[in-house]
Amino acid sequence: MITAASFRSIRKLAPRPWAIGALLALLLPPLTPLVLVAQALERVGDLVTQAGSVPRRLIGYGLVIGLEGSGDKTFGVLNGDTPTVRSIANALRRFGLEVPPERLRPRNVAAVVVTAETSPFLRAGGRFEVQVSSIGDATSLRGGVLWTTPLMTDVDLPPVATAQGPVLVADDEVRSYVQRGNSARIPQGGVLETDPPAPPPLSSKLLMRTPNLDAALRVAQAINGALGDTVARVDDPGAISLNPGPKRADNLLSFLAMVDTIPVRMAPENRVVIDARSGTIVTGGTVRVAAATVSHRGFTLRIGGPPPAATPAPAPADSAAHAQAAPTPPGGLLAVSDGASVQEVAAGLHAAGARPSEVAAMFTALREVGALNADVVIR
């Protein structure tokens, strides 16, 4: 018979939930390979769009208010009459407030252009993200709120949507844009006010978001492997025709929904994306750099060739401190081995003190001479 005391003793011996989790983490094999394999699979719906589903692009002019002195400047302008000041006066006039423009000296307001792209199937009341870009000399939009702004598909047409709300600016972007205006976004800040024109009818043709013959063939093979050998046919690198058959043609919507969920194993593209402001570099695929030499602004990058002269070993110290105090190569020369990866070259350039714009220029030069077999995208 189990008494209350013995039951408490058993509870003390029972493993805690966190202990069970720790034990399973030690006994089970690592799941990293599974995660990598899952990341190589994509859905057909993420790679294609329906033929005729052209997105709607919206644009508007508005004001971002509530800035901390970083708005458009009026100093040095005759009577302080600027487009931003006139916009503020017009906005106040709609509320019955008549303020002479020459009396306004706003520093907490910035004139902006608002842009957005919506699905052709979005109905009235649907929300979407908007982008906000300064068109004056504001130094930052951080902390501002977009005044209610009408959005239209063309300047000669009536508004079809409105946008408003607090703008979001990443910290890195704030530091980068400090002298060149600013850009921000408002998640779900736009609201469609009117229904769009009648959406296009459903089509059995799929269009690749990024035209590519290999990718189109992979998508068609995945569809045929799941639904039959004669369902999908590649027309060109940007289009795939579907043959649903007599049984599926009666319910084309369900057929297309089923096609969208089919997994496709895609080969990673050889592409290098470089942010010329922050220096962030993202690579796709297995990208290696062949032998080449690039000289840019007194700095030389040499890939391949004899190794550089050895430098004296540093005194023993903390490794993190050495990483921060590592001197630049003598004479502005960085030498790496032939066949080095983009990550290795980028790490060497950053450690040598190369600026983001210089890193972007060097990778572009490597692409142009054929030493880098990948598309280089500078942002």
The pLDDT tens digits of the residues spanning 73-131 come to 765 455 556 778 878 888 877 777 777 776 676 788 888 999 999 998 899 999 999 99
Q: Express each pLDDT in 23-32 by its tens digit.
A: 333 334 443 3
pLDDT band with cut points at 50, 70 and 90 for residue 261 = very high
Place of tokens 């004056």: 136
Predicted pLDDT of residue 327: 42
- pLDDT at residue 4 greater than cutoff 60: no
Q: Express each pLDDT in 30-89 by its tens digit.
A: 433 323 333 458 899 999 998 888 899 999 999 998 888 888 876 545 555 677 887 888
Predicted pLDDT of residue 231: 92
The alpha helices in the chain, defined as continuous H runs, are 4-13, 17-27, 32-39, 44-47, 83-94, 171-176, 213-227, 245-249, 252-260, 319-325, 342-351, 356-368
Q: Stretch 136-164: mean pLDDT, rounded?
A: 91
Q: Express each pLDDT in 192-250 by its tens digit.
A: 999 988 877 888 899 999 899 999 999 999 999 999 888 999 999 999 999 988 888 78
Distances (CA, A) of 127 to 116, 124, 145, 193, 236: 11, 9, 17, 10, 35
CA–CA dist 167, 183 (Å, integer): 9
Using an 8 Å Cβ cutoff, are 25 and 124 in contact?
A: no
Q: Stretch 159-175: mean pLDDT, rounded?
A: 77
Please give the backbone phi and psi of residue 4, each rounded to the nearest 5 degrees, phi first: -65, -40
Q: Stretch 298-320: mean pLDDT, rounded?
A: 61
**Position with higher pLDDT, 313 vs 135:** 135
Predicted pLDDT of residue 41: 80
Pick from 336, 344, 331: nearest CA to 291: 336
Please give the backbone phi and psi of residue 164, each rounded to the nearest 5 degrees, phi first: -165, 165
